[in-house]
Structure 1
Amino acid sequence: MTVIKSILLFGVAAVLEIGGAWLIWQGIREHRGWLWIGGGAVALGLYGIVATLQPDANFGRILAAYGGVFIAGSLIWAVFLDGFRPDRWDITGAIIALAGVGLIMYGPRGS
């Protein structure tokens, strides 16, 4: 159950961080205005809170593992919101990154 909770938290964190950054990007680069930028800032703040809910207490481990989630999540976000088409290298890299997440977060630990 702890692994499922952790995976769900990574998913929520990814939506908040990637979505927050995307909203700020839209606000500045696409001239959508301060409401978009403010919404992005709120989402990024909520990402920071969600990250603290991970069952593992090691900040470095959580942030390192989240990097792999961010890689895959960013590509998925771009497909659905920006019409991006990842190539085989993008997909292969994301799979490798997610394998790294699995090792970092859920690999067996010695006592």
Structure 2
Amino acid sequence: MTVARSILLFVLAALAEIGGCWLIWQGWRESRGLWWIAAGVVALGAYGFVATLQPDANFGRILAAYGGIFVAGSLAWGMAVDKFRPDRWDIIGAAICLIGVAVIMYAPRATD
């Protein structure tokens, strides 16, 4: 159950961070206004809190692994929201990142 919880938290963090960045992008670059930017700032703040809920106590490990989730999640967001079409290198790169996440977060470790 810990792995499932961790993955869920990574997905929630990605939605908050990527969504927050997208809202700011829309507010500024697409001239949708300050409310979009404000919503993006709130979402980015939520991302910061969600990351603290991970069961692992090591900040560096959580953020390093989350980087791989961010890469894959950004491509998925682009596909779903902006109709971006990744090429095979995007997909291969994201797969490599997700393998890295699995190794960093879920590889068996000796307890101290």
Answer yes or no: same fold by TM over 0.5: yes
Q: Which residue of 2 aligns with 1:31?
A: 31
Give the TM-score normalised by structure 2.
0.98
In 1: Cα distance, 2:101 partner to 2:26 partner: 29
Q: Kindly, what percent of the aligned residue pairs are identical?
A: 70
Per-residue CA deviations over 1:59-85 (Å, capped at 9, x if unaligned) read 000000000000000000000111100
Q: Which residue of 2 aligns with 1:72?
A: 72
Per-residue CA deviations over 1:15-49 (Å, capped at 9, x if unaligned) read 00000000000000000000000000000000000
1:108 is displaced (CA, Å) by 1.0
Q: How does 1:77-92 map to 2 (within 5 A)?
A: 77-92=77-92
Structure 2 stretches lacking a partner, 5+ long:
none
Structure 1 stretches lacking a partner, 5+ long:
none
Aligned-residue Cα RMSD (Å) equals 0.4
Runs of 4+ in structure 1 off by over 4 angstroms are none
Give the TM-score normalised by structure 1.
0.99
Aligned residues: 111
In 2: Cα distance, 1:84 partner to 1:31 partner: 20
In 2: Cα distance, 1:44 partner to 1:55 partner: 21
Q: How does 1:98-109 map to 2 (within 5 A)?
A: 98-109=98-109
